[in-house]
Amino acid sequence: MRAALYWAPELDDPLHAAGSTWLGRDAETGATLPQPPVPDLHAITADARGYGLHATLKPPFRLATSYAALREDAAAFAARMAPFELPPLAVMDLKGFLALREIAPCPALRALTDGAVAALDAHRAPPTEEELARRRKAGLSARQEAMLARWGYPYLEEDWQFHVTLTRRLTPEETAVVRPAAAAHFATVAGRARRVREVCLFTQAGPGAPFLIAERLALGG
């Protein structure tokens, strides 16, 4: 079993429906959904669909304790954090893949993810050598290598970027078609004002299984 702490849109936020439809799966219910008629979209969104619509706070990890213990610490962490306003989002290119990203700086997002990484780390099983090798294939900087050794994930602190993944890495030809389609799909919902009032525990039952929202935990600081 793996678990992660993510931000995901609230159920009554139109972004939840729009994003779930784009990916072809609702991470809240597990339901398969019809996708927009964009060429090869099912294949282009395959990896993102497996993880569910989200932005990463505490990256996925194999659980070293119990779900009950993880849930207790995650709820306590959420209760310590104050709700905050999320800047409008927009479809952007991020190192070749498309993602929804904030259009203005938001220090509260960085505080939320830094806090989540530390607060839940006692529940993380150490990465396997295979997992470490896969991360290192990307060519890590010294700081990223240090983050990998300390937290099991290299892209934290200064290297962390809030993003809601929408596609795999695209070719320039694919980007020319898919980016305008994504921008049109999310045009009426991504830029809305929204308040971050909860975080989500996602779980994965086993290798290859889809991630599902196990619980939504209210921020209460």
Listed by start position, the domains of the chain span 2-125+162-218
Q: Which tokens hold the place of 83?
A: 């709700």
Provide the pLDDT for residue 221: 63
Provide the pLDDT for residue 94: 94
Question: H or E element: which one contains 206?
Answer: none
Provide the pLDDT for residue 211: 98
SS3 letters across 3-68: EEEEECCCCCCHHHHHHHHHHCECCCCCCECCCCCCCCHHHHCHHHHHHCCCEEEEEEEEECCCHH
Q: Which residue has the tokens 């299984």?
A: 209
Bridge partners of 196, per DSSP, are: 84
Provide the pLDDT for residue 130: 85
Q: Mention the CATH class of domain 2-125+162-218.
A: alpha beta
Bridging pattern class, strands 164-165 and 194-196? unpaired
Instruction: Kindly report the pTM of this predicted structure.
Output: 0.92
Q: Which tokens hold the place of 152?
A: 């099991």
Per-residue pLDDT of the chain (221 residues; tens, 9 = 90+): 999 999 999 999 999 999 999 999 999 999 999 999 999 999 999 999 999 999 999 999 999 999 999 999 999 999 999 999 999 999 999 999 999 999 999 999 999 999 999 999 999 999 888 888 888 877 888 888 888 888 888 877 777 899 999 999 999 999 999 999 999 999 999 999 899 999 999 999 998 999 999 999 999 96
